[in-house]
Amino acid sequence: MQAARLHEYTHDMSDGLSIDEVDRPEVEQSTDVIVEVEGAGWCQTDNHIIEGMWEEYVPQPLPMTLGHENAGTVVDVGSEVDLVSPGDPVICHPVQTCGTCRPCRLEETMYCENDAFNGLTTDGGFADYLHTSERSVIPLPSDVDPIDIAPHADAGITAYHAVKKAVKRLNPGDHAVVIGIGGLGHIGLQCLDAMSAARVTAVDVKDSALNLADGYGADHLINPTEEDVPAAIESITDERGAAQVLDFVGADETTAYGPQIAAAGGDHHVIGYGGHVHEPSQAFVNGEFSYVGNIVGRYAELQELVALVEQGDVDLHTSRFALDEVNDVAEKLEHGEIDGRAVITP
């Protein structure tokens, strides 16, 4: 089968991955599931993996097939699998967990001590077939296209996971700010609209992204190239600030907004990454302001997100590309030329 493989780290996205002929994965354990990949979302994290940004955090045996947002059709299963059968459409949680370590027992599966992360620590779905496990697949309703829903396997649940935490601290009349209406941000905005009664302000430097936000329920739009963001938020919130800030960019410029735009007791959720947090300690003490880190959501949260999709509350804005276009997609994303989410269709 064909697979898009990373052989060495590079900052040149034009040839970061090569299309190789590799062996098709086979069932090795009783709980294994083999999926024929129909859609695999491209993520900014894929660019960061190519750059080597994750090397110091997780083991990465190269060469490795990238792709952690996968959906498709089951083609083979292990002897003990009864959740799915060959022919079933599924979306694949990117993390394969053991289920027996203490974090798994505490339902904190993202902290599993024995996990394998498709496209990050083990082969992913930029390929014809994907090896995963029964604990990581979610059956899809028959009317949901695996290609259309694939990016929810990471982009969707990461956004949903952050929004779910923020919603617990949002009351009617509160304001929330969504920074970056891109691949994750446009999902997070819709989740906020569906799950809370807060007023939502969208912030992005691209007018096309702000137009997307306007269509997905944003109450206010701010372009930082045209307005001073803290001043605009102060005006919108009658000087109270935003109870919750969801930062899907994570650049130095956006993390710096936190103490300036958050209300007393407010949180700045860092979801996008690549930048830094440079704030004096007094900024945290004044008003009990907090930065909150976020990572991929739990299996159950992907189930909940699929329910929102099935109900029509969350839509994905996607563009489709062939497997041999992976490097073109990486370059487009690097230059901010993709609105919403790119999906590879092996």
Half-sphere exposure of 230 (CA within 13 A, CB side): 11
User: Which pLDDT belongs to residue 340?
Assistant: 79
Quick one: average pLDDT of 200-205? 97
| 56 and 68 assigned to the same domain | yes
Query: What residues make up the domain containing 236?
Result: 157-293
| 81 and 203 assigned to the same domain | no
User: Which pLDDT belongs to residue 236?
Assistant: 97
For residues 174 and 111, the model is more confident at 174
Task: Give residue 286's pLDDT band: very low, low, confident or very high (50, 70, 90).
Answer: confident
| 70 and 201 assigned to the same domain | no
C-alpha to C-alpha distance for 181 and 229, rounded to whole angstroms: 15
Quick one: average pLDDT of 48-74? 94
List, for residues 63-73, the tens digit of each pLDDT value. Answer: 999 999 999 99
> How many domains does the chain divide into?
2
Task: Give residue 337's pLDDT band: very low, low, confident or very high (50, 70, 90).
Answer: confident
Q: In the 8-state DSSP scheme, what is residue 232? A: H
| 198 and 122 assigned to the same domain | no
Q: Show Cβ contacts of residue 247 under 8 Å, excluding neighbours closer than 6 positions.
A: 179, 180, 254, 255, 257, 258, 268, 269, 270, 271, 272
Q: Do 36 and 75 meet the contact criterion of CB atoms below 8 Å apart?
A: yes
Strand, coil or helix: 298: coil
| 147 and 60 assigned to the same domain | yes
User: Which pLDDT belongs to residue 204?
Assistant: 97
Quick one: average pLDDT of 83-91? 97
| 283 and 301 assigned to the same domain | no
| 84 and 104 assigned to the same domain | yes
- Does the structure show a pLDDT above 90 at 211? yes
Distance set, CA 113 to CA 22, 58, 153 (Å): 29, 12, 21
Task: Give residue 316's pLDDT band: very low, low, confident or very high (50, 70, 90).
Answer: confident
Q: Do 276 and 252 meet the contact criterion of CB atoms below 8 Å apart?
A: yes
C-alpha to C-alpha distance for 237 and 80, rounded to whole angstroms: 55
Question: 0.75 exceeded by the pTM?
Answer: yes
Selection from 165, 162, 163, 176 nearest residue 243 by Cα: 176
| 173 and 32 assigned to the same domain | no
Q: What is the mean pLDDT of the chain?
A: 94
List, for residues 122-142, the tens digit of each pLDDT value. Answer: 999 999 999 999 999 999 988
| 19 and 131 assigned to the same domain | yes
Selection from 153, 139, 179 nearest residue 33 by Cα: 139
| 77 and 181 assigned to the same domain | no
- ∠ CA(187), CA(208), CA(12), 5° rounding? 80
User: Which pLDDT belongs to residue 80?
Assistant: 97
Structure token digits, residue 127: 């390929």
